[in-house]
């Protein structure tokens, strides 16, 4: 993996956030704080860049683990930002109740409904408090393999940590003094009980980071597990549509 001057990169990202938000002529940003490391790092970078008065954090439980909300609230308190809890469990349950008699869904469709409801709430809050941009919380590793929900956590205005591999986000978190229980927590999108990112992907972030990094920089993959490399390449190819604007037929 590459070696970074982490303090320098943190400063550059914070300057980029400030410049981007100012250029958009908005009042600040809103962030969905999940209680996980990615949203914690993103929120902290935004506060450092813009000031606590220009950042609003949202807790968006949707049949979620209570500790995640507690961790999100603790982070918001440390940062000194306004934190609003919007309980989405009843909205989710009612949506499933309305649609279930009409057609049979799948576990993945129902799971992806959660981040889409959350993003709906984030944009609603962003417009309700004036003009706020939605800060995304995805890292390079997740973006590369499409490990995000289209028009859910992928539907954002900008991605402050979108150029960082997962291992680098962890190093950022330590430098930024993110609470230890957040750093140590197994990464999870909270899509269903017991769900973890690595369990769903079927590979550790350590292996994912190394493979994606080498693909990004055209480095040799010969000494890595061939099955893992094949799997990651397939995921990256399958994710291409998620990282592009929808195509439109051109009349010529």
CATH number at residue 186: 3.40.50.620
Is there a domain that residue 239 lies in?
Answer: no
Band of pLDDT at residue 119, cut at 50, 70 and 90: very high
Q: Which residue would you say has higher pLDDT here, 1 or 215?
A: 215
**Res 248: pLDDT:** 94
Band of pLDDT at residue 187, cut at 50, 70 and 90: confident
194 pLDDT exceeds 80? Answer: no
Q: Where is average pLDDT lowest: 88-102, 185-199, 218-232?
A: 185-199
Cα first-last separation, the chain: 46
Is there a domain that residue 225 lies in?
Answer: no
Let me know: does 180 contact 228? Beta carbons within 8 Å. Answer: no
Is there a domain that residue 127 lies in?
Answer: yes
| Euclidean distance between CA atoms 181 and 179, whole angstroms | 6
What is the tally of structural domains in the chain? 1
Band of pLDDT at residue 70, cut at 50, 70 and 90: very high
**Res 193: pLDDT:** 67
**Res 196: pLDDT:** 81
**Res 219: pLDDT:** 97
Band of pLDDT at residue 195, cut at 50, 70 and 90: confident
| Burial of 98 per CB tally in 10 Å (0-12, 13-18, 19+) | exposed
Average pLDDT over residues 138-163: 96
Which whole-number Å values give the CA distances from 127 to 28, 37, 124, in the listed order?
11, 26, 5
Let me know: does 213 contact 2? Beta carbons within 8 Å. Answer: yes
Average pLDDT over residues 57-61: 97
Structure tokens, 90: 């009843």
The alpha carbon of residue 47 and the mean position of all alpha carbons in its chain are separated, in whole angstroms, by 17
**Res 200: pLDDT:** 84
Is there a domain that residue 210 lies in?
Answer: no
**Res 23: pLDDT:** 98
The whole domain housing 108 covers: 6-197
Is there a domain that residue 14 lies in?
Answer: yes
- 1 Cβ partners below 8 Å, 6+ apart? 165, 167, 209, 210, 213
Is there a domain that residue 211 lies in?
Answer: no
Is there a domain that residue 229 lies in?
Answer: no
**Res 35: pLDDT:** 95
pLDDT digits (tens, 9 = 90+) for 81-97: 999 999 999 999 999 99
Structure tokens, 25: 């002529």
**Res 186: pLDDT:** 84
Helix axes 89-99, 107-128, angle to 10 degrees: 130
């Amino acid at each position: 993996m590459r070696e970074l001057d982490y303090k320098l990169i943190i400063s550059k990202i914070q300057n980029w956030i400030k410049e981007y938000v100012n250029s958009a002529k908005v009042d600040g940003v809103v962030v969905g704080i999940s209680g996980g490391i990615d949203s914690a790092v993103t929120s902290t970078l935004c506060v450092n860049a813009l000031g606590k008065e220009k950042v609003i954090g949202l807790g968006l439980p949707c049949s979620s683990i209570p500790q995640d909300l507690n961790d999100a609230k603790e982070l918001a308190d440390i940062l000194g930002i306004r934190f609003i809890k919007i309980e989405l469990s009843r909205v989710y349950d009612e949506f499933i109740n309305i649609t279930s008699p009409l057609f049979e869904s799948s576990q993945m469709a129902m799971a992806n409904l959660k981040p889409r409801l959350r993003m709906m709430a984030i944009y609603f809050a962003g417009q309700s408090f004036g003009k706020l941009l939605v800060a995304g919380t995805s890292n390079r590793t997740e973006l590369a393999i499409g490990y995000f929900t289209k028009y859910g956590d992928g539907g954002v205005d900008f991605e402050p940590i979108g150029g960082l591999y997962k291992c680098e986000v962890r190093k950022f978190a330590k430098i930024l003094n993110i609470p230890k229980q957040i750093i140590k927590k197994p990464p999870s999108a909270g899509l269903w009980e017991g769900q973890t990112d690595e369990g769903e992907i079927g590979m550790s972030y350590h292996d994912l980071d190394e493979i994606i990094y080498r693909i990004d920089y055209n480095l040799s993959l010969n000494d890595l597990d061939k099955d893992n490399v094949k799997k990651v390449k397939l995921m990256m190819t399958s994710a291409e549509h998620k990282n592009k604007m929808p195509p439109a037929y051109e009349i010529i």
